[in-house]
Amino acid sequence: MKKLLGAFIIVSLAVVTGRYVYLELSRLPFFNLSEVEIKCPENIDRGDVLEISGLKIGESIFYQDLNKATDSLLEIRGVQSVKIRRLLPASIRINLETDELVLFVKTDKIYGLTKSQKLLRVANPKNILPVVTGLSVVKSQNVRDGNIKSNMLDYFDKVKLCYAIDVYEEMRMLSENLANRLSEIHFTGSDRIVLYFDPGGVKVLLPLQGRRKALSRLSVLDFNGILGNSGSFDMTGGRMVVRRRI
């Protein structure tokens, strides 16, 4: 019995001593956070990531709340996963993964549009993607933490974004050449859409209802070399295509 009691005391002292040593070592300036490595898509500002995470430069990496930082970063619109790990002696690495950007949206500024129909602020746009125009203006003060509040776009604009994604995805399936040339998707009124193609600024007017059939005819025109690099095409008249020179 005395041996068991003695063993218990020794183990307890070892645990307490180990904990004390850990706490003392973790307070050493050697482990104070000096660098945060951030890996994230270009549409997310790294300064915003650091601020939202709550990580503090100059404090021990062992006293940084990584669980809280993860939960906070997951609140950023479009972020799907967050991985954070400590790197001895004084660094922390953050890895963010988001939805893929499929289009840009232009209102008062340029924003990124993801496949899940979320708008994200783009710090330094490098992707070459078509721009969606003809929406309501989203004012800068309505942007928080790099994301647009969902209630800042009205119902009709949200529907237009769905149409824009559908048009671009359909075009990519029909003709990679057309998809690569597409520079702008402009909404005019409630039932029409205008597409602009590079080079030369070819203009194509499509109906929103029946747009897929119109896109299919458009891909045939391009395949046969009729679309060309200039001109205006009105495809809102069913099977009739009206071509005008610009």
Report, as an integer, the average pLDDT of 210-237: 83
Shared-domain flag, residues 147 and 187: yes
Mean pLDDT (the chain, rounded): 78
Which of 60, 79, 98 lies at the terminal end of a domain, its last residue?
Answer: 98
Residue 125's pLDDT band (cuts 50, 70, 90): low
pLDDT of 198: 86
What is the domain-level CATH number for residue 209?
3.40.50.11690
Helices 155-174, 211-223: axis angle to 10 degrees equals 30
Q: Are residues 156 and 232 in the same domain?
A: yes
Look at residue 9 and tell me if it is in a domain: no
Quick one: average pLDDT of 172-200? 88
Specify whether 91 is located in the same domain as 188.
Answer: no
**CA–CA separation, 149 vs 138, rounded Å?**
10
Same domain, 223 and 137: yes
Do 112 and 223 lie in one domain? The reply is yes
Q: What is the mean pLDDT of residues 32-44?
A: 86
Which two tokens mark 245? Answer: 């020179």
126 vs 168, which has greater pLDDT? 168
Where a domain ends, among 82, 98, 114? Answer: 98
Q: Residue 239 has what pLDDT?
A: 58
In a 3-state reduction of DSSP, which class is residue 29? helix
Same domain, 113 and 166: yes
Query: According to the model, what pLDDT value does residue 194 have?
Result: 92
153-163 confidence digits (pLDDT tens): 777 888 889 99
The verdict on 233 and 160 lying in the same domain is yes
Asked if the model's pLDDT at residue 5 lies above 60, the reply is: no
Which conformational region is residue 192 in: left (phi greater than 0), alpha (psi within -120 to 50 degrees), or beta?
beta
Which one-letter amino acid corresponds to residue 113?
L
The set of residues, in sequence order, having a beta carbon less than 8 Å from that of 243 and lying 6+ positions away, is: 231, 232, 233, 234
pLDDT of residue 6: 56
How much is the CA Rg of the chain, to the nearest whole Å? 27
Asked, for residue 6, whether it belongs to a domain, the answer is no
Q: pLDDT: is 136 or 26 the higher one?
A: 136
Higher pLDDT, 97 or 169: 169
Residue 19 lies in a domain: no
Q: Check which CATH number belongs to the domain holding 60 and give it.
A: 3.10.20.310
- In a domain, residue 2? The reply is no
Q: What is the pTM of this model?
A: 0.60
* Same domain for 76 and 138: no
Q: Does 131 share its domain with 232?
A: yes
| Structural domains counted in the chain | 2
Domain around 48: 28-98
Query: Measuring CA to CA, how many Å separate 226 from each of 19, 189, 205, 223, 232?
Result: 77, 27, 16, 8, 12
